[in-house]
């Protein structure tokens, strides 16, 4: 009976696979949004201001960071919780593959969130200037920074190597 329960618990990790695949499928939506931004840029190329160009580029950068975050979480979570990814020696594989533990993933996720928040803050500043909304966004950004620092400190206190 004990082996049956342990086998079921261990096998349940495969229930996570559709969730990781859903993260990767979300990349299609990001491609569509980047395409939309680039079409907008191409259609207004003759009359676009430097501020508008910067806003479009920041939007694309934001989407790229989100895409990187999705891939990193899906791949590293698959490798941590489901199965090691075996890659041939001659195949190109990301340097971080096989080196990310849950502490590293948490820090990288938080860093990505802070970067995404910073981009949103910069875009809001460039679009709207100073205002109450900007103060709220800045406060949220500071909370993200404080959270990231707290996670890093806790990880370091527990022997993390960052």
- Going by C-alpha positions, the residue among 113, 104, 105 that lies closest to residue 146 is 113
pLDDT tier at 160, thresholds 50, 70, 90: low
- Domain match, 62 and 2 both: yes
- For residue 18, the enclosing domain spans 1-91
Taking only the tens place, the pLDDT of each residue in 22-52 is: 999 999 999 999 999 999 899 988 888 888 8
Sequence-distant (6+) residues with CB within 8 A of 65 are 112, 115, 116, 119
Q: Taking the CA of residue 115 as centre, how many other CA atoms within 13 Å lie in the half-sphere pointing to its CB?
A: 17
- Domain match, 30 and 49 both: yes
- Domain match, 9 and 65 both: yes
Reported pTM: 0.76
43, 62, 91 - which closes a domain:
91
Q: Is the pLDDT of residue 129 over 60?
A: yes
- Return the pLDDT at 18: 94
């Amino acid at each position: 009976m004990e082996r049956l329960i342990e086998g079921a618990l261990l096998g349940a990790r495969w229930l996570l696979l559709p969730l990781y695949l859903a993260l990767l499928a979300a990349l299609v939506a990001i491609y569509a949004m980047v395409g939309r931004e680039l079409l907008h840029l191409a259609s207004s190329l003759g009359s676009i201001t430097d501020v508008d160009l910067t806003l479009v580029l920041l939007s694309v950068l934001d989407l790229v960071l989100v895409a990187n975050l999705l891939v990193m979480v899906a791949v590293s979570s698959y490798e941590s919780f489901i199965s090691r990814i075996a890659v041939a020696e001659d195949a190109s594989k990301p340097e971080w593959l096989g080196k990310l533990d849950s502490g590293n993933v948490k820090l990288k996720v938080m860093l990505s969130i802070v970067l995404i928040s910073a981009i949103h803050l910069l875009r809001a500043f460039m679009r709207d200037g100073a205002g109450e909304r900007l103060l709220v966004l800045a406060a949220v950004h500071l909370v993200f920074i404080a959270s990231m620092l707290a996670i890093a400190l806790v990880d370091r206190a527990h022997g993390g190597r960052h």
